[in-house]
Amino acid sequence: MPMVRELRINGRSLAVTAEDDRTLLGVLRDELGLTGAKYGCGEGRCGACTVLIDGEPARSCVTRLSAVGDREITTIEGLEQDGKLHPLQEAFLETGAMQCGYCTCGMIMSGVGLLRQNPRPSREEIIEAMNGNVCRCGTYTRIMAAVDLAARAIKEGRK
Amino acid sequence: MSHVHNQADEVWTEIEPERYELYEPRGGRVAFDRRDFLRVLGGGLLIAYLLDHTESEAQQPGRRQGFRGQAGPQDIGAWLHIAEDGTISVYTGKAEVGQNIRTSLTQVVAEELGVEAGMVRMVMADTQLTPFDMGTFGSRTTPDMSRRLRRTAAAAREVLIELAAERWKTSHEKLIVAESAVVNPETGARLEYGKLTQGQKLTKTVSDSTPIREPRKWTIAGQSLAKVNGRDFVTGRHRYASDMSLPGMLHARLLRAPSFGAALVSVELAAARAMPDVVVVQEGDFVGVAAASEPRAARALAAIKAEWKPGPAIASRTLFEDLRRPANDRGFAGGERDGRSAGNKGKSLREQPDSGATRLEQTYTGAYIAHAPLEPRAAVASWEGGKLTVWTGTQRPFGVRSELAAALRVPEADIRVIVPDTGSGYGGKHTGEAAVEAARLARAAGKPVKLVWTREEEFTWAYYRPAGVIDIKSSASREGLLTAWDCQNYNSGGSGLRSPYSAAQQATAFHPSRSPLRQGSYRALASTANHFARESHMDELAHALGIDPLQFRLRNLKDDRLRAVLEAAATAFGWGKPADAGRGVGLACGTEKGGYVATCAEVAVDRENGRVAVVRTTTAFECGAVVNPDHLKNQVEGAVVMGLGGALFEAIEYENGRIQNPRFSRYRVPRFRDTPQLDVVLVDRPDLPAAGAGEAPIIAIAPAVGNAIFAAVGVRLRSLPMVPQRLKI
Ligand code: FES
Ligand code: FES
C-alpha cells in the first residue's frame, strides 16, 4: 500500500506517497522530479544512481524506501550552494571529465562522498572508492584528475 | 567483393561500403520555404546551405535529386539564423551523443562569424526544426557538417559586411568582423549584428564554394573550449530522453520473448487488464503495459502469462563455425541477405613465395560485444490530434521518424522526433525500438508514455558488434619485405580490411555470414577486428623473421601519414627500451575514416595468477586540422579505454538462444582499475581537412595489447576477448 512519508532531501523535508518497497531511485526521479540520479543497471553495479545518505555514497537503485527512514539524503541537485558549484563540480568542468555526461552525476556524488571521508585520497584510494562507477565513454583518468583537483581546491579553500 | 590485385598498378575497387551501418533511404524530403521559416523564426537573416549533388547522394543513396529552382523543395544541409536582436541560431540534424560536437560545431560557427562561442545557439536533431540528416555516424560530423556550417557562417558574415558597407556607403573590402559586429578599422565605426539585421527579412543560400577561414588562422576553433553546456551535466540539470516527464505520463513495460526468435503462441491478458488504471496493448507479438508508475507497470507485466514457441537453440560455443557458413544458407538470421561473395574461397591467393621466405597462416576471431551505452534506450511519446512527438536518444532521428511512420502507419509529416543530448551511442543507437514501443502504447492509452529499457533489455534486444573469423596467409622475404598477403574475413565486415602494407601479391575478401545474433554498427565497425588480425599477424611475422616489429612495419609501409603516427607513438613511448621482467611492450597502427592512429602498450602479466594489467599506453593520432584539442584527446582516451574492454574481457555469451550475461555484474566493462596511464600525442595537420575522431582511435589498442602480452610471456592470443578470465601460461 502506498503511504505518505517525509523524506529529508537536500536540507528540505519532502512528502511523498509511495510503497515501502519502492526504490529510492524511482521515488527521486518519478515522484520528486530529481532526475540527476540516473538508472544505469538497477543492480548496484554502475554507480549512475549514486546519492549520499548521511554523507555516505549509496546506490539508490538498490535502496528501498523503507531503509531510508529519516536519514539525510543528498542528491546532485543539492550540491550547489547559493549558485556556487561544489569544488568537485567545478573540477569536472575544469578537467573536461565527461563526454556524454550520463555517468557524471553519479561520479560526482561518489567523489564527494570519498572526499568527505578522505580529503586527500591517493590514486589507489580513488580507484578503490570509485571502481563501482562505470563511465562507458572511458573518461576515468579525467575523473581521477578531477577528484584530485577538487581535493586540492577544498584544502586551499579551508586555509 | 573479392579483389586480387597487384600493387604495381594499384587498382583498388572499394571493398564495399560498410554493410553494418544500419540505414535505409529516407521517405520524404524537407520542403524548404523561406517565407515559412522567417514566419516561425521572425525577421533577420537566414542562410541555408544547399547540398550539392554528391552530398545529396551521400545523404540519400540511389535517389534522384529534387529540383533546384528558387521556389521548390531543395536539399538543405543546415541553416543558420541571425535574429533581429543578434541571436545566432544554427540548425543541424546531427545528434550529440557524447562526442562533444555541440561544442566543436559551435566553435567553427563562432570562428567564421567573429563572435564568442556563447553567442551561438545550436539546435540539433529535431526533425521539425532541423534539416534532414542521415544520421550521426561514420565520423562524418566533422568532415561534412562542420565544413557546411563553416561555409554557412562565412556566408552570413559576408552578408552582414555587405549590409554595413551599404549603410556606410563604403566598400566591402574595408570592413572586418569582430565581437558580434561589423567594424571599419579606418573610421572606428561599428555596427552590431542585431542592428544590421533589424527590420530585415533576408535569405540566402550557399553552397560548398563559399570561402572559409584557413585553420592556420583560427582563434576560436582550434582551441580547447570546454563543453558548451557542461554546467547542465555537472548539476544534473540536463534532461536526457530518459529524464523527460510530461503531465499525465504513464510508464511502460514490454513483454519480451524468453529467447531469440521465439514466437508468441498464446497470451493471457485478463489479469493485467483487470488492474485499475493499467493500459494493456497487444498487436501480434507486441505486448505491452502502461501504468501510472514503474512498479505498477511491472506488476501488470508480471500478471501476464504467455506461452512461447522457442527459437533456434543457438549457442556461442559454435559461433565461429556458424560464421564460416555463407550468408545464403537457409535460415539466415541477421545482417543482410547477400550471397555474392559466398563460397569464393577460390579467389584467395595462391602465392608462390621464393624458397627461404617466411610463410605464415593464422586465424583470428572476435566475439559479439555490446555497446552497453550507460543510458539505455529510452523514449517519451505523446500524441496530440493524430500527431506524434517522440523524445528519444538516437543517432538517427530521421531514421527513427521513418521507423515510426512505418510501424504506426502515420505520415512522416505528422511525426516529430526530438533527440535531447544523449547518454552515448557508440554506433549502438541507430534504431528506434523504444520510440516505436512507447508510441504504440501512448496511442492506445491516450496519454503520454515513457519507456526506459532495462539494462537487461538493452543487452538483449539492441544489436551487437558483429563477431568474426579472419584467416590470414602471408609470406615475407628474408629482408623483411612482405611478398604476399591474403586476408579472408567472415562476417565482421569490410571496414579496415584493406592492408596499408605493400605486398607484391594481395587478396582480401569479406564473406557475409549467417549471423546467429542481430548485429549492426559499432564504433569503427569491423576495423577493430581487421586491425587486430592484421597487426597481430604482422607482429607474428616480425618475430618469425627476427626483426623489430616497428622496423618491420616501417619497411613495408609507404603511407606517410601512417608512418608519421607510428614514429610519433614509438618515440613518445620510448620504444626499444627493454621491458622489466614480467612486462612486455607491443605496438599496432592503422587508419580508419580519415584518421591515422598508432598505439604502443605496456602490459604486466602475473605469472602466478595469470592476471594481465595494461600499465600504460601511448597513442598518436592524426585527423587533419584539430578543431578542439582537449575534446580530441578526450575522444582518443575514451576510445582506448573502450577498446580495452573488447580486447581483454567483453563478450556476449549465449546458450539456447538466450544471453547468459545481460548485466553489468556478468558482462565486464572497463573500470577505473583497468585504466592504464593514457598518453596521447596529437599530430596536428592544419594543412589537411579535419576528419572525425570518435572511431579511429579504437582500432589499434587490441593488437597492441596482444602483441605486448606475447612479448611479456610468449603466449600468442588470437581471439577477442583475449583474457576473459585469466591468462593460461
Ligand atoms: S543504476 Fe544503481 S548502480 Fe547502476
Ligand atoms: S561520460 Fe558517458 S558514461 Fe561517462
B303 shares its domain with B331: no
Distance CA B252, CA B267 (A): 18
Q: Cell 572499394 identifies what position?
A: B14
Residue type, B364: Y
Of A40, A105, A144, the CB nearest to B455: A40
Q: A104 to chain B: which residues are within 8 Å by CB?
A: 233-234
Considering only residues 415 to 474 of chain B, which have any Cβ-Cβ distance to chain A shorter than 8 Å? 421-424, 426, 452, 454-455
Q: A127 to chain B: which residues are within 8 Å by CB?
A: 672-673
Residue A96 within a domain? yes
What burial letters (b/e) apply to A100-134, b meaning 16+ CB within 10 Å?
bbbbbbbbbbbbbbbbeeeeebeeeebbebbebbb
What is residue B211's predicted lDDT score, i.e. its pLDDT? 83
In chain A, the number of structural domains is 2
Q: Which of B103, B244, B374 to mutate to test the interface with A (most CBs of A within 10 A)?
A: B374
Q: Is the CB of A99 under 6 A from ligand 2?
A: yes
A19 shares its domain with A71: yes
Q: Is the CB of A113 under 6 A from ligand 1?
A: no
| Cis amide linkage into residue B721, ω under 30° from 0 | yes
Strand order across the B120-124 sheet: B120-124, B88-92, B76-82, B44-50, B201-206
Nearest CA, atom 3, ligand 1: A44
Q: Which domain holds residue B413?
A: 241-311+377-452
Residue B670 touches partner A, C-beta closer than 8 Å? yes
Residue B716 within a domain? yes
Of B235, B672, B677, the CB nearest to A76: B235
Radius of gyration, CA atoms only, chain A: 15
How buried is residue B504: exposed, middle or buried, by Cβ count under 10 Å (0-12/13-18/19+)?
Answer: middle
Q: Is the CB of A136 under 6 A from ligand 2?
A: yes
B549 shares its domain with B422: no
B236 vs A75: CB contact, 8 Å cut-off? yes
A69 shares its domain with A107: no
Ligand 2 centre and the CA of B631: distance in Å? 13
What is residue B582's predicted lDDT score, i.e. its pLDDT? 92
B264 shares its domain with B225: no
Is B31:B73 a contact under the CB 8 Å cutoff?
A: yes
What DSSP letter does each residue of B160-178 carry, written as one string? HHHHHHHHHT--GGG-EEE
Q: Is the CB of A88 under 6 A from ligand 1?
A: no
What is residue A2's predicted lDDT score, i.e. its pLDDT? 80
The maximal CA–CA distance of chain A, rounded, in angstroms, is 52
Is B351:B475 a contact under the CB 8 Å cutoff?
A: yes
Is A50:A9 a contact under the CB 8 Å cutoff?
A: no
What is residue B283's predicted lDDT score, i.e. its pLDDT? 93
**What is the tens place of the pLDDT at every residue in A87-96?**
999 999 999 9
What is residue B692's predicted lDDT score, i.e. its pLDDT? 84
Q: In ligand 1, which atom is closest to the CA atom of A132? A: 3
What burial letters (b/e) apply to B285-301, b meaning 16+ CB within 10 Å?
eebbbbbbbbbbbebbb
Q: Cell 546467429 identifies what position?
A: B516
Q: Where among A75, A101, A130 does a domain terminate?
A: A75
Residue B727 within a domain? no
Distance CA B353, CA B483 (A): 7
Of A19, A77, A130, the CB nearest to B672: A130
B304 shares its domain with B448: yes
Q: Where among B422, B452, B482 does a domain terminate?
A: B452
For residue A48, which ligand has an atom nearest its CA? 1
**Residue A75: CB atoms within 10 Å:** 24
SS3 B385: coil
Q: Cell 508480471 identifies what position?
A: B302
What is residue B345's predicted lDDT score, i.e. its pLDDT? 37
- C-alpha cell at position B123: 539546435
Of A77, A133, A140, the CB nearest to B236: A77
B454 vs A42: CB contact, 8 Å cut-off? yes
B205 sits in which H/E element: strand B201-206
Residue A117 within a domain? yes
For residue B421, which ligand has an atom nearest its CA? 2
SS3 B317: helix
Q: Which CATH number does the domain housing residue A61 bear?
A: 3.10.20.30
B303 shares its domain with B433: yes
**What is the tens place of the pLDDT at every residue in A122-152?**
999 999 999 999 999 999 999 999 999 999 9
| Partners of B191 in beta bridges | B182
For residue A99, which ligand has an atom nearest its CA? 2
Distance CA B189, CA B152 (A): 25
Ligand 1 centre and the CA of B445: distance in Å? 30
| Alpha carbon of B97: minimum distance to chain A alpha carbons (Å) | 6
Tell me the backbone φ, ψ of residue B201, rounded to 5 degrees.
Answer: -135, 75
Q: Which CATH number does the domain housing residue B270 bear?
A: 3.30.365.10
A124 sits in which H/E element: helix A123-130
Is B349:B522 a contact under the CB 8 Å cutoff?
A: no
Q: Where among B174, B203, B233 does a domain terminate?
A: B233
A107 shares its domain with A55: no
Ligand 2 centre and the CA of B492: distance in Å? 26
Residue B457 within a domain? no
What is residue B37's predicted lDDT score, i.e. its pLDDT? 67
Q: In ligand 1, which atom is closest to the CA atom of A61? A: 2
B206 shares its domain with B63: yes
For residue A134, which ligand has an atom nearest its CA? 2
B110 sits in which H/E element: helix B101-113
A69 shares its domain with A19: yes
Distance CA B83, CA B197 (A): 7
Distance CA A159, CA A152 (A): 11
DSSP E strands in A20-152: the ranges are 50-53, 56-59, 72-74
For residue A92, which ligand has an atom nearest its CA? 2
User: What's the length of chain A?
Assistant: 159
Q: Which of B100, B102, B233 to mutate to test the interface with A (most CBs of A within 10 A)?
A: B233
Residue type, B642: M
A128 shares its domain with A101: yes
What is residue B727's predicted lDDT score, i.e. its pLDDT? 87
B544 shares its domain with B523: yes
Q: Ramachandran region of residue B446, left (φ > 0), alpha (ψ -120 to 50) or beta?
A: left
Is B516:B314 a contact under the CB 8 Å cutoff?
A: yes
B276 shares its domain with B422: yes
What is residue B75's predicted lDDT score, i.e. its pLDDT? 79
B374 vs A131: CB contact, 8 Å cut-off? no
B285 shares its domain with B207: no
What burial letters (b/e) apply to B520-542, b meaning 16+ CB within 10 Å?
bbbbbbbbbbbbbbbbbbbbbbb
Q: Is the CB of A135 under 6 A from ligand 2?
A: yes
In chain B, the number of structural domains is 3
B471 shares its domain with B589: yes
Q: Is the CB of A8 under 6 A from ligand 1?
A: no
SS3 B555: helix
B534 sits in which H/E element: helix B527-545
Residue B268 within a domain? yes
DSSP E strands in B623-718: the ranges are 654-655, 658-659, 677-682
Task: Work out the angle at residue B585's Cα, subtended by the Cα atoms of residues B582 and B590, and round it to the nearest 5 degrees.
Answer: 155
A18 shares its domain with A57: yes
Q: A144 to chain B: which residues are within 8 Å by CB?
A: 672
- C-alpha cell at position B117: 562561442
Q: Which domain holds residue A145?
A: 87-155
Q: Is the CB of A44 under 6 A from ligand 1?
A: yes
How buried is residue B306: exposed, middle or buried, by Cβ count under 10 Å (0-12/13-18/19+)?
Answer: middle
B425 shares its domain with B540: no
B57 shares its domain with B74: yes
Residue A81 within a domain? no
- C-alpha cell at position B206: 550557399
Of B295, B635, B642, the CB nearest to A22: B295
Q: A60 to chain B: which residues are within 8 Å by CB?
A: none
Distance CA B85, CA B83 (A): 5
Among A68, A89, A144, A62, smallest CA distance to B237 is for: A89
**What is the tens place of the pLDDT at every residue in A7-25?**
999 999 999 999 888 999 9
Q: In ligand 1, which atom is closest to the CA atom of A41? A: 4
Q: Which CATH number does the domain housing residue A108 bear?
A: 1.10.150.120
Distance CA B513, CA B339 (A): 9
Residue A80 within a domain? no
Residues of chain B scoring pLDDT < 50: 1-17, 22-31, 60-73, 329-347, 351
Radius of gyration, CA atoms only, chain B: 27
Q: B250 to chain A: which residues are within 8 Å by CB?
A: none
DSSP E strands in B512-629: the ranges are 583-592, 595-605, 612-622
A138 vs B251: CB contact, 8 Å cut-off? no
B423 vs A100: CB contact, 8 Å cut-off? yes
Residue A104 within a domain? yes
Residue A12 within a domain? yes
Residue B318 within a domain? no
Q: Where among A50, A75, A100 does a domain terminate?
A: A75
User: A73: which residues sit within 8 A by CB, 6+ positions away?
Assistant: A7, A8, A9, A10, A24, A28, A51, A52, A53
Q: B665 to chain A: which residues are within 8 Å by CB?
A: 41, 43, 45
Q: Where among B214, B233, B252 does a domain terminate?
A: B233
Residue B551 within a domain? yes
Residue type, B2: S
What is residue B136's predicted lDDT score, i.e. its pLDDT? 87
Cβ–Cβ pairs < 8 A, chains A and B:
171
Distance CA B482, CA B545 (A): 11
Q: Where among A75, A99, A130 does a domain terminate?
A: A75
Distance CA A104, CA B55 (A): 37
